[in-house]
Amino acid sequence: MSDKPETRRIVIEPVTRVEGHGKVTILLDDEAKVKQARLHIVEFRGFERFIQGRPFWELPVLVQRLCGICPVSHHLAAAKAVDGIVGVDTLTPTALKMRLLMHHGQFLQSHALHFFHLSSPDLLFGFDADVSERNVIGVAAKYPELARQGILLRKYGQEIIKATAGKKIHGTGAIPGGVNKNLSLEERDQLLSEIDQIMEWARGAVALAKGYTLEHLDDLSGFGSFDSNHLSIVRSDGAYDIYDGGLRARDAEGNIIFDHVENEKYDEYLAEEVRSWTYMKFPFIKEIGPEAGWYRVGPLARVNNCDFFDTPEAEKERKEFKSLTDDKPNNITMAYHWTRMIELLHSVEKIQELLNDSDLQGEDLVVTGKRRDEAVGIIEAPRGTLFHHYRVNEDDQVTMANLIVSTTSNNEPMNRAVQKVAEDYLSGVPEITEGLLNRVEVAIRAYDPCLSCATHAMGQMPLIVELMDQQGRIVDRKIKG
Amino acid sequence: MRQVSQQVLLLCYGNPGRLDDGLGAAFAEALEGSALPGVTVEADYQLTVEDATSIAEHPVVIFVDAAVRGSEPFFCRSVEPKPTISFSSHSVEPENLLALAQKMFGAQSQAYALGIRGYQFDDFGESLSPKAQENLAAAIQFLVPVLRRSNAIEITAALDALNVQGDDNGV
């Protein structure tokens, strides 16, 4: 028998029959100390190739096939890029506000789903609670009003998307240079009739996330946390903006790395590193380099990055959030939840503002411009900054597409979160319990990663946990769910 | 004239940009033109939690999706409510959704899963494989006459009769 320490590998893998899933491998040595922890997100590759040769005007509809959970984000990012191709830099007020309404509807439904139905079981019952209770049905049983609010908040967001984008599949609201419909008075009145209730629930959601974070601050401060840079777009005056603005990056202390970078110049400031063990790339800030230039995106980065919200309630909440760190960036991974709910509140405020704006009933929907061959569209998707970059030929066919999705930007932060949690909780323990494994998932879930899971045919398998020895032999196997 | 109440909800889901994963959407598209009285057809990329509210409004719910394994050309099985835990927010299983609908909105729906067997999922593309198209046609041929039956009892009896014929390997 060899004297060399034996290495064991734990694999947490939701097995799906298509590419596009997450897997965590934790390598333990013979003393059960964590040697290495990695998150592998297997991207479904080939989409950029799929759209090459297609007419550029199809892009806003075509790209929705990328992700079944956030088609609106891809729809809008592609539409912004296609606006550039048709030479349009400024939309009509009606077109811009219809897109904004759609975008905030998407934020509302996405954030509500994540917080109420994915994360709340962990927060309400605790990371170690029995899995039979720690799920959305458990929340529905013990906190029925909360579960109901989550569903109805999300439903309201979906109604906004339907009113602005059309159908759930193949939504067509945004077209090159504008939109294809305005908001009818009937649609507006229907949505306005519910807004006061929605606002009340949004306030409650912020209070819940804030209260949880503050109550558990000692535990959460170190949980999967680390200093990082933060990246997002901001409006020209520094305001929080999810649809339009220049790129801003701050370091962990809050110093500006770059600011108001034009969308078209993103690749002068950002690059992507390839690592041998995963297909997913690791974006970084060129000026700093791959070792220290990686960054976070998403709610935490956006709230850390912006100078202010242009709505009163979200701004009040932002100030309270930033006061916790003396106005410096907050680097607590679990603070994603709090910032996500501040964003949800802001979206409801913006929805109310937009619904009361008569521009939404305007008839001037599309503008035209002088055709270009290349354009970049950058927006903030619920999970973070989303880049769409296209080149087209004289026959209007797409010849190049480069997409950087938010989960790719958060690749390094999620890996760091997994490593930190594994080291803190899994090292030296005699048995890897469900609660311990769940801590790894909790850290990943805080980022709300998109696992390219647009396919969900029946036959999908549950989460599988495998314990392997150094030779790759499975010595233990658990099926979750 | 008697108002036909909505008896059946068809929740069809899948991504038409991922080859045979588009079977659910193709099924919805085919039925939308059938003008079946008392039948609501919904199509989406995925099941989502707010579908629980629609479920509660219908005595019979049929989840229609592509199946990666199981009986050909399709299977039909009953769905029992069951709480499940998910790694991400990106999917909800029919069992979970039914449990949510019961718990939150008092749903008393009888639910079924119609899994239409597909074969190609591992690429982007907007067409169904020839065999999947055949299976889709068979599923339509089976379900449309069932949905034309006059009430929920007759519809569920027909679905229950098929329930024993198919399986999807325990999913």
Task: Tell whether A191 is within 8 A of chain B (Cβ).
Answer: no
User: Where do the H-state alpha helices sit in A44-167?
Assistant: 47-51, 59-62, 71-85, 93-112, 120-125, 136-142, 144-165
User: Which residues from A are below 8 Å from B46, CB to CB?
Assistant: 68-69, 453-454, 456
* Nearest chain B CA: its distance from A19 CA (Å): 7
Q: Assess contact for B20 and B129: CB atoms under 8 A.
A: yes
**Chain segment B9-61, per-residue pLDDT in tens:** 999 998 888 889 999 999 999 998 788 889 999 998 888 888 999 999 999 99
pLDDT of residue A453: 41
Which residues 446-465 of A are in CB contact (within 8 Å) with B? 448-451, 453-463
Contact B168 A117 (CB under 8 A): no
Residue B136 reports pLDDT greater than 70: yes
pLDDT of residue A3: 47
* Nearest chain B CA: its distance from A200 CA (Å): 19
CATH architecture of the domain with range B8-163: 3-Layer(aba) Sandwich (3.40)
The ipTM, to two decimals, is 0.78
Distance CA A340, CA A108 (A): 10
How far out from the chain centre does Cα A281 lie? 16
Those residues whose C-beta lies under 8 Å from the C-beta of residue A187, and which sit 6 or more positions away, are: A163
User: What b/e sequence results for A372-396 when a residue is b if at least 16 CB atoms lie within 10 Å of its CB, and e otherwise?
Assistant: eeebbbbbbbbbbbbbbbbbbeeee
Which residues are paired to A9 by β-bridges? A27, A468
Q: Tens-digit pLDDT profile for chain A (481 aa)?
A: 344 445 666 665 543 323 345 677 778 777 778 888 888 776 556 777 788 899 999 999 988 877 767 889 999 999 999 999 999 999 999 999 999 999 999 999 999 988 988 889 889 998 888 877 887 888 888 898 998 999 999 999 999 999 999 877 777 899 999 999 999 999 999 999 999 999 999 999 999 999 999 999 999 999 999 999 999 999 999 999 999 999 999 999 999 999 999 999 999 999 988 877 776 788 999 999 999 999 999 999 999 999 999 999 999 999 999 999 999 999 999 999 999 999 999 999 999 999 999 999 999 999 999 999 999 999 999 999 999 999 999 999 999 998 888 888 998 999 999 899 988 988 877 777 778 788 888 898 899 887 654 344 454 433 444 554 555 555 555 544 3
pLDDT of residue A344: 98
Distance CA A207, CA A369 (A): 46
Question: pLDDT grade, residue B2 (50/70/90)?
Answer: very low
**Of the partner residues A22, A114, A169, the one whose CB lies closest to the CB of residue B16:** A169
Contact B21 A168 (CB under 8 A): no
Percent of chain B with pLDDT over 70: 87
Residue tagged 């592609």 (tokens): A78
Q: What CATH number has the domain spanning A91-225+332-362?
A: 1.10.645.10
**Which of the residues A41, A410, A458, A464 would you substitute to probe the B interface, choosing the one with the greatest number of B C-beta atoms within 10 Å?**
A458
Contact A69 B46 (CB under 8 A): yes
pLDDT of residue A481: 39
Please name the helix (run of DSSP H) or strand (run of DSSP E) that holds residue B67, with its range, or none: strand B60-67
Domain extent listing, chain A: 8-27+35-45+410-480, 91-225+332-362
| More confident: B166 or A380 | A380
Q: What is the DSSP string of A372-396?
A: -SEEEEEEEETTEEEEEEEEE-TTS
Average pLDDT (B141-164) is 86
**Of the partner residues B49, B113, B169, the one whose CB lies closest to the CB of residue A113:** B49
Please name the helix (run of DSSP H) or strand (run of DSSP E) that holds residue A25, with its range, or none: strand A21-28
Those residues whose C-beta lies under 8 Å from the C-beta of residue A125, and which sit 6 or more positions away, are: A133, A134, A138, A142
Residue A158 sits at the vertex; the CA angle it makes with A384 and A196, to the nearest 5 degrees, is 100
| Helix/strand/coil percent split, chain B, to 5 | 35, 20, 45
Task: Tell whether B118 is within 8 A of chain A (Cβ).
Answer: yes
User: How far is CA A100 from each of CA A104, A158, A160, A262, A318, rounded to the nearest angstrom?
Assistant: 6, 14, 11, 20, 21
